Amino acid sequence: MVYQQIIAEVKENIFYITINREQKLNALNKEVLTELAHAIKFATQSDEIRGVLLTGAGEKAFVAGADISEFQNYSLAEGKELAKVGQTNVFDAIENCPKPVVAAINGFALGGGLELAMACHIRIASENAKLGLPEVTLGLIPGYGGTQRLTQLVGKGRAIEMITTADMITAEKAYRIGLVNEVVPQAELISKAEEILNKIKQRAPLAIASAIKAVNSSLKNNVNGFDIEIEEFAKCFQTEDFKEGVGAFLEKRKAVFKGE
């Protein structure tokens, strides 16, 4: 697929995805969502990719939300379809991606933009970032998992306050309440995200995938996370990576993992 709205490239086992609608503050229109869905599927399936760095073009916005102009005349059925398709193909696909996805939040992360960042596994924000879920100012609520993921990350009280006031918060406050993992000057944002991904890419890929699955299952109502952990833990013993990791430790050398 040739992308028009995002830039996607693999460099040294990291998949860089940049949402590229700077003039519209990288708002998520249908094409962006389709291309993101495709890119995440590609990252999930590629053996070369060990981690994903997701950001927005420019210095002003990560993503300023779903493209408001697109859903102006939507009916109940269309609204339901929008949320369902988006959640399944993009937001849940990111959350369930076996490669860690790091959001580099380089400015506004509002509405669907904050929901996108929250679907990622790790969030790094630049000092100028502003985060919020302003949907109620439009007569809507978050539809891409925001009510669930914000509550999981910051707790019910803070989530209801942010969603019902529609207030934007600073990067510093987002850090304080656990919404982002770190805050750095804008000039250091990508290098901080790369630093984390460069560390992750040296670890055993199948164990990373198992860890993501087990952690995610702690927040799913229909599965027992402890059971998933037992299964995933046991699966690791069958991998070549496990043999390599233990062998390298005993031989006092650095492990080289192949994801097998």
Q: Give the nearer residue to ligand COA in terms of CB position, either 67 or 241.
A: 67
Give the H/E segment covering residue 8: strand 6-11
Q: Give the nearer residue to ligand COA in terms of CB position, either 166 or 248.
A: 166
Applying CB under 6 A, does 24 fall inside the site for ligand COA?
Answer: yes
Instruction: Transcribe 139-208 into DSSP letters.
Output: T----SSHHHHHHHHH-HHHHHHHHHH---EEHHHHHHTTSSSEEE-GGGHHHHHHHHHHHHTTS-HHHH
Residues 210 and 235 sit within 8 Å (Cβ to Cβ): yes
Report the site for ligand COA in 209-238 (rule: CB under 6 A): none
Shortest reach from residue 110's CB to ligand COA, in Å: 4
Longest dimension (CA), the chain: 65
Q: What mask of x and - would describe binding to ligand COA in positions 116 to 155, judged by CB under 6 A?
A: ------------------xx--x-----------------
Residues 197 and 102 sit within 8 Å (Cβ to Cβ): yes
Q: Find the catalytic residue in 135, 194, 231, 260.
A: 135
Shortest reach from residue 33's CB to ligand COA, in Å: 13
Shortest reach from residue 64's CB to ligand COA, in Å: 4
Residues 87 and 47 sit within 8 Å (Cβ to Cβ): no
Q: What mask of x and - would describe binding to ligand COA in positions 61 to 100, judged by CB under 6 A?
A: ---xxxxxx-------------------------------
Site size toward ligand COA (CB under 6 A) is 16
Shortest reach from residue 25's CB to ligand COA, in Å: 4
What is the C-alpha to C-alpha distance for residues 72 and 199, in angstroms, rounded to an integer?
44
Buried b (16+ CB within 10 A) or exposed e, 50-65: bbbbbbbbbeebbbbb
Applying CB under 6 A, does 107 fall inside the site for ligand COA?
Answer: no
Q: Find the catalytic residue in 35, 95, 115, 232.
A: 115
What is the C-alpha to C-alpha distance for residues 230 and 233, in angstroms, rounded to an integer?
5
Shortest reach from residue 230's CB to ligand COA, in Å: 40
| 188 labelled catalytic | no
Applying CB under 6 A, does 14 fall inside the site for ligand COA?
Answer: no
Nearest CA among 201, 29, 26 for reference residue 104: 26
Instruction: Pick from 15, 91, 108, 175 the residue near ligand COA by CB under 6 A.
Output: 108
Amino acid 109 reads A
Residues 108 and 64 sit within 8 Å (Cβ to Cβ): yes
CB-side exposure of 25: number of CA atoms within 13 Å?
18
Shortest reach from residue 175's CB to ligand COA, in Å: 20
| 35 labelled catalytic | no
Positions marked catalytic: 115, 135
* Interface residue list for ligand COA (CB under 6 A): 24-25, 27, 64-69, 108, 110-112, 134-135, 138
